[in-house]
């Protein structure tokens, strides 16, 4: 379901004026990624980019890559559009739709060089664990969309969820861990203010990075 939340006037204006330029409408047909970005370049998919600060920072620092972000939260979509405009970023596109449906219909097999899932909702109560995004069936789908050698990078600040993610990815025969357990934070993933505050308070953050065999 599309989550509207509290949308500021600036975010609403960004959606109205910039989404036609940087947005990609959901369709039940395969998306031509090269045509979408107007060039041949590595393509990275991000699922659930939140307010978009990390997405914009990575895209600005890695102009040689193209980034396709999926998010249902309208304030986040509006905020990332503002950041794209302010940074004159040409390598970011947005789909405001359910990620599972986008993966099923729009993303071709072996079309992605990387996938980012940063700080997905941990659904901490045990009875809600079934709602967590990273589950075996989704991982199978994500793996299918990766090129051989492509990477899947998840990060979370919930240790119990990190353990589950590590176990689910380790169980996939098509994926190989890039580290002996959890990975050091890759240089391309900037540390958020929320993350830095948590680390100062003694909270952990776990990065899990696997590659498709």
Residues involved in catalysis? 121
Our measurement of the distance from residue 144's CA atom to the centroid of its chain's CA atoms, rounded to an integer in Å, reads 16
Which residues, 6+ apart, have CB-to-CB distance to 93 below 8 Å?
Answer: 22, 23, 24, 36, 37, 66, 67, 68, 69
Give whole-number Cα distances, 128 to 3, 73, 121, in Å: 19, 20, 11
Contact 139, 186 (CB under 8 A): no
Contact 31, 107 (CB under 8 A): yes
Our measurement of the distance from residue 58's CA atom to the centroid of its chain's CA atoms, rounded to an integer in Å, reads 11
- Nearest-angstrom CA–CA distance, 146 and 133: 18
Contact 92, 56 (CB under 8 A): yes
């Amino acid at each position: 379901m599309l989550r509207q939340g509290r949308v500021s006037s600036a975010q609403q204006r960004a959606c109205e004026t910039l989404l036609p330029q940087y947005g990609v409408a959901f369709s039940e047909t395969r998306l031509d990624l090269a045509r979408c970005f107007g060039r041949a370049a590595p393509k990275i998919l991000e699922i659930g980019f939140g307010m978009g600060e990390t997405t914009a920072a990575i895209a600005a620092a890695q102009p040689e890559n193209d980034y396709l972000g999926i998010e249902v939260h309208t304030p986040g979509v509006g905020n990332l559009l503002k950041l794209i405009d302010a940074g004159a970023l040409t390598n970011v596109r947005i789909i405001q739709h359910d990620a599972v449906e986008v993966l099923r219909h729009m993303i071709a097999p072996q079309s992605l060089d990387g996938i980012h899932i940063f700080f997905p909702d941990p659904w901490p109560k045990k009875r809600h664990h079934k709602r967590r995004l990273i589950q075996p069936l989704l991982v199978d789908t994500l793996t299918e969309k990766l090129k051989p050698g492509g990477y899947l990078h998840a990060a979370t600040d919930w240790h119990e969820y990190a353990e589950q993610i590590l176990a689910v990815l380790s169980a996939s025969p098509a994926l190989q861990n890039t580290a002996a357990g959890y990975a050091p934070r890759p240089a391309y993933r900037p540390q958020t203010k929320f993350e830095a505050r948590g680390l100062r308070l003694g909270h952990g953050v776990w990065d899990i990075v696997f590659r498709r065999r």
